[in-house]
Structure 1
């Protein structure tokens, strides 16, 4: 087998890995890089392989850094199946339709700013998304599926977000069975809502994510105590809590955690507003898959008439509803996209609260370098939001243990559970310090030296 890494190399975004097994060519993920989608020179517009030569595309989960270029792949000529879990298929359709809409708006704004310059084309249009949706083939967990002659795909629950999967590919090489495993994004253990990542044994080749490979995150019970203290402070000071959260996964997790907090402690429930139309649509998908959650989570959510909803949780749809929150008195909690504070409604909420010391910002997910979210988490004195500067007087709490990504200890546990004896190991999807810190964690379970591949680097394994 030959594997070539076309993304998520020494960075978090752009997941895309090409497997060549005999005459078959299989692409694992086709995600967005962290660059402007409508820029003609964007890395997102460059495919280092011919889409028409691919036999199959296998998707690990529905975050944009794993699915964001799928419509572009179809636009460039891919005509085969795109394999997903059932929940990932539902979420992908919503996420990429929203992405096409945003790109079209970005093009319109670019034309307004520079009317004398021809507006660039979007990376893809709505009809490209519809063609892509037609190619989705849903594969449930633990049900082997032949995706090319003699090549068997099996999905396992990764526990990262709804529908997320560890990708197992079995094949024969010179008469002996071989097993390739791509972790996708592994979830944390014992975090209440989703089950722990599934263990896979008898692995020959392993490609692993490394987002928090250099960190040991707080355990769930301690995170809940910290969240309890933050909410109690807001009640005491009549303040507002702003939680920037990705529309997929983190929003639903935080709603669940607040439901658990109000149900299991003496803390007085306060209004929780989810201010993201995309998150609202994705939450509807989450309600369609009750079997995806742990028995404990189901028991708690069954008490309310609607999963991820109750009398104190309100989903805002219109921008007028969103704007009214800025003039509503606390205590209250606003969960809004985007998770790194770079776009969406979160920015105007932050603009209204960051200068007041009674308010709080709670960072609950990974923040990429140079983003507003990273600056907030680093505790800078002043921040620029929507072209204006504001003093950062609000309290900022970094609870990145609520992330859906496994930390160093979770990854070490998962590697150990495989039983070791892995022939080749590769580390992707992380910033360089995280990748380098994870090498000695993985190495005891891998016979050959663990590699951190460069972009477009190939290996025969």
Structure 2
């Protein structure tokens, strides 16, 4: 096998790994880089391989850093299948259609503010998205499927978001059976909503994510106690709690955690408002897959007529619904996107709460450097929201343990359970410091030195 890392190499975004097994070429994911998609020189607009030469594309899960360039593959000539779980197929259609809409808006804005970019086309359009959706092949967890002659694909539960999968490929090479495994993005253990990541044994070649390879996050029990205290404070002060959350995964997780808080931990219920049109559509898909959740989660959510919904949860559909929240008194929780506070309705809500010390902002995900969310999490005195400056007087709580990514302890435990004996190990999808901190935890289970590849670097394994 020859493997080439065309993305997420010494960085988090742009996941794309090309496998060559005999005469066949398989691509694992094709995600967006954290780069301006309108810029003609953006890495998002450059494919270092011929999409027409691919025999199959395998999709680990539906976050944009893993699926964001799939329609661009089609635009550039790929006409083969996309293999993924059923839930990932459902979510991918929603995510990519939303991405196409945003790109059209970006192109229109660029033509106005940057005349030299007026002839730039979107990275892809809705037609290319529909071709991706049409060519998706839905596979259940745990069932091997021959995707090219002599190569069997098995998807396993990754516990990261709905439908996320660990990718296992079994094939025969050099007269012996071999097994390749790509973790995709692994979830945390014991988080109540989704099952723990499945364990895969007898691995010959492992490509592992490393997002939080240098971090130990709070366990779920401690996070729930902290959340309980925040809700109790809001009840006592009649304040508002604003939670910036990504529309896919984090919003649904936080709604469930609050449901669990009310049902199991006996916190006094307060109204929860979810204000994100995209999150609303994605939550509908989450309701279509009740078998994806743990028995404990199903027991809690089965008590209500609608998963991720109860008499305490209201989903805002229109902008008028969103604006109405400004005039309601607390206590209440508002969950809104975007997760890093750079766009979407969350900025509208922050403008109305950050100056009041009786309110709170709860950060539940990674905040990239330079974002408004990062400034809030660092507790600066004043922040600029849109065109105005505001004093940051609201209480700020950083509970990034609610992340969907495994921390270094979760990753170490998963490596331990594989049984070791791995011939080759690679770390991707992380900042260099995370990879370097994680490598010593993986190394005892790998016979050869663990590698941290550069972008476009190739290996014969």
TM-score relative to the length of structure 2: 0.98
Task: Report the equivalent of 1:72.
Answer: 72
Task: Report the equivalent of 1:25.
Answer: 25
What is the CA–CA distance in structure 2 between the aligned matches of 1:266 and 1:149, rounded to whole Å?
55
What is the CA–CA distance in structure 1 between the aligned matches of 2:101 and 2:86, rounded to whole Å?
24
From the superposition, tell whether residues 151 and 266 of structure 1 become closer, same or farther in structure 2 (CA, over 3 Å).
closer
Task: Report the equivalent of 1:232.
Answer: 232
What is the CA–CA distance in structure 2 between the aligned matches of 1:249 and 1:409, rounded to whole Å?
21
Give the count of matched residue pairs.
461
What are the within-5 Å matches in structure 2 for residues 22-101 of structure 1? 22-101=22-101
Task: Report the equivalent of 1:332.
Answer: 332
Cα distance, 1:117 vs. partner? Answer: 5.6
Residue 132 (structure 1) aligned with residue 132 (structure 2): yes
Residue 108 (structure 1) aligned with residue 114 (structure 2): no
Task: Report the equivalent of 1:315.
Answer: 315
What are the within-5 Å matches in structure 2 for residues 255-404 of structure 1? 255-404=255-404
Residue 143 (structure 1) aligned with residue 143 (structure 2): yes
From the superposition, tell whether residues 116 and 183 of structure 1 become closer, same or farther in structure 2 (CA, over 3 Å).
closer
From the superposition, tell whether residues 119 and 273 of structure 1 become closer, same or farther in structure 2 (CA, over 3 Å).
farther
Residue 448 (structure 1) aligned with residue 460 (structure 2): no
1:211-269 Cα offsets, whole Å, 9 max, x none, are 11111111111100000000111111111111111111111110000001111233221
What is the CA–CA distance in structure 2 between the aligned matches of 1:248 and 1:122, rounded to whole Å?
23
Q: Tell me which moved more, 53-62 or 392-401.
A: 392-401
Cα distance, 1:434 vs. partner? Answer: 1.0
Cα distance, 1:174 vs. partner? Answer: 0.7
Task: Report the equivalent of 1:155.
Answer: 155
What is the CA–CA distance in structure 2 between the aligned matches of 1:194 and 1:116, rounded to whole Å?
47
What is the CA–CA distance in structure 1 between the aligned matches of 2:338 and 2:66, rounded to whole Å?
17
What is the CA–CA distance in structure 2 between the aligned matches of 1:154 and 1:299, rounded to whole Å?
29
Q: Tell me which moved more, 321-330 or 53-62.
A: 321-330
Cα distance, 1:390 vs. partner? Answer: 2.1
Cα distance, 1:177 vs. partner? Answer: 0.5
Task: Report the equivalent of 1:175.
Answer: 175
Q: Contact 1:425/1:451 (CA < 8 Å) preserved in 2?
A: yes
Q: Secondary structure at the match of 2:327?
A: coil
Task: Report the equivalent of 1:405.
Answer: 405
Q: Secondary structure at the match of 1:168?
A: strand
1:328-384 Cα offsets, whole Å, 9 max, x none, are 221111111111112111111112212221111111112222222222222222222
Cα distance, 1:202 vs. partner? Answer: 0.2
Q: Contact 2:107/2:118 (CA < 8 Å) preserved in 1?
A: no
1:33-56 Cα offsets, whole Å, 9 max, x none, are 111222222111011111000111
Cα distance, 1:387 vs. partner? Answer: 3.4
RMSD of the alignment, in Å?
1.2
1:394-444 Cα offsets, whole Å, 9 max, x none, are 111111111111011000000000000101111111111111110111111
What is the CA–CA distance in structure 2 between the aligned matches of 1:380 and 1:45, rounded to whole Å?
36
Unaligned runs of 5+ in 2: none
What is the CA–CA distance in structure 1 between the aligned matches of 2:3 and 2:376, rounded to whole Å?
38
What is the CA–CA distance in structure 1 between the aligned matches of 2:280 and 2:398, rounded to whole Å?
25
What is the CA–CA distance in structure 1 between the aligned matches of 2:455 and 2:405, rounded to whole Å?
23
1:79-123 Cα offsets, whole Å, 9 max, x none, are 100101000000000110011011111222223334686252111
Task: Report the equivalent of 1:436.
Answer: 436
Q: Secondary structure at the match of 2:268?
A: coil
Task: Report the equivalent of 1:422.
Answer: 422
Unaligned runs of 5+ in 1: none
Q: Secondary structure at the match of 1:128?
A: helix
Q: Secondary structure at the match of 2:147?
A: strand
What is the CA–CA distance in structure 2 between the aligned matches of 1:31 and 1:12, rounded to whole Å?
10
What is the CA–CA distance in structure 2 between the aligned matches of 1:87 and 1:47, rounded to whole Å?
27
Q: Secondary structure at the match of 1:326?
A: helix
Q: Contact 1:110/1:119 (CA < 8 Å) preserved in 2?
A: no
Cα distance, 1:204 vs. partner? Answer: 0.5
Q: Contact 1:363/1:400 (CA < 8 Å) preserved in 2?
A: yes
1:307-340 Cα offsets, whole Å, 9 max, x none, are 0000110111111211221232211111111111
TM-score relative to the length of structure 1: 0.98
Q: Tell me which moved more, 30-39 or 84-93.
A: 30-39
Residue 188 (structure 1) aligned with residue 188 (structure 2): yes
Task: Report the equivalent of 2:206.
Answer: 206
